[in-house]
Amino acid sequence: MNCNREAIALMHSYLDGELYKEDERRLRDHLQSCPSCQEHFQELKRTTTLVKNATPVSAPPRFTANVMANLPKEKKRKNYLRKLQRHPFLTAAAVFFILMFSGIFTAWNQDQQVTVSKQENLEIRDHTVIVPDGVTVEGDLVVRNGDLRIEGRVDGDITIINGDIVESDSNNESESDNRLDRNNLRAYSGELTEVNQVYEWVWYHAKKTFKEIFTFEQD
């Protein structure tokens, strides 16, 4: 047996209580025939005894009391956090709602540019979208962040977000009256929706989504 490697490894395994019977016998046989390993083994055993018997120390007096005095006070915020950790589904739902609403609010606040659905022959002037006289717009019209003036015709629904439907200039009041009548009668053939408040905006989104789902199901 190689004294330096194998025998010493076996000694340590023995001291860790991890030596199989067969190896233990091999170690014992070797120790009987090898004085230097015997000495090494005795020293190791003595070392472990010395270390094991090192007086167990006790914590200083009033240790527990000191720890208890230094514990952080139970805080409401902590309870709150713990509750969040205990109810992952509730937390997930809350996060979802925060993200959803913040998304809609941001879309409402940031988009200050006048946008209009893609239709030809529309004029945009000073935040006002004009359907010029004699022009007929085919399909639904959506105006965002601007007013809408209809001098011609719209064939479909009108949605105005963050804006108004404007009647004519004050110069030609008499004409405008006529046109107003005409507006009321035939300027657009579908529904008119105006969305001006944030909650309306949210409602509009919800309705739109619902409608889309509904149409989808009908198809």
- The reply to whether 54 sits near other proteins by the rule CB under 8 A is yes
Question: CB of 153 within 8 A of CB of 185?
Answer: no
- The reply to whether 83 sits near other proteins by the rule CB under 8 A is no
Handedness of CA 134, 189, 119, 143 (dihedral sign): positive
- The reply to whether 34 sits near other proteins by the rule CB under 8 A is no
Select the span of 15-23, 109-117, 174-182, 203-211 touching other proteins (CB under 8 A). Answer: 15-23
Select the span of 10-18, 30-38, 166-174, 181-189 touching other proteins (CB under 8 A). Answer: 10-18
- The reply to whether 113 sits near other proteins by the rule CB under 8 A is no
- E strand spans, the chain: 115-116, 123-125, 128-131, 136-138, 141-144, 147-150, 153-155, 158-161, 165-166, 192-195
Select the span of 26-34, 44-52, 117-125, 146-154 touching other proteins (CB under 8 A). Answer: 44-52
Question: Shortest Cβ distance from residue 23 to other proteins (Å)?
Answer: 15
Q: Which two tokens stand for residue 187?
A: 């300027």
Q: Which two tokens stand for residue 148?
A: 């809408």
- The reply to whether 52 sits near other proteins by the rule CB under 8 A is yes
- The reply to whether 2 sits near other proteins by the rule CB under 8 A is no
Tokens 């879309």 map to which residue? 107
Q: End-to-end alpha-carbon separation of the chain, Å?
A: 86
User: For binding to other proteins (CB under 8 A), which residues are involved?
Assistant: 8-9, 12, 15-16, 18, 40, 43-44, 46-48, 50-52, 54-60, 63-64, 66-68, 70-72, 74, 79, 82, 85
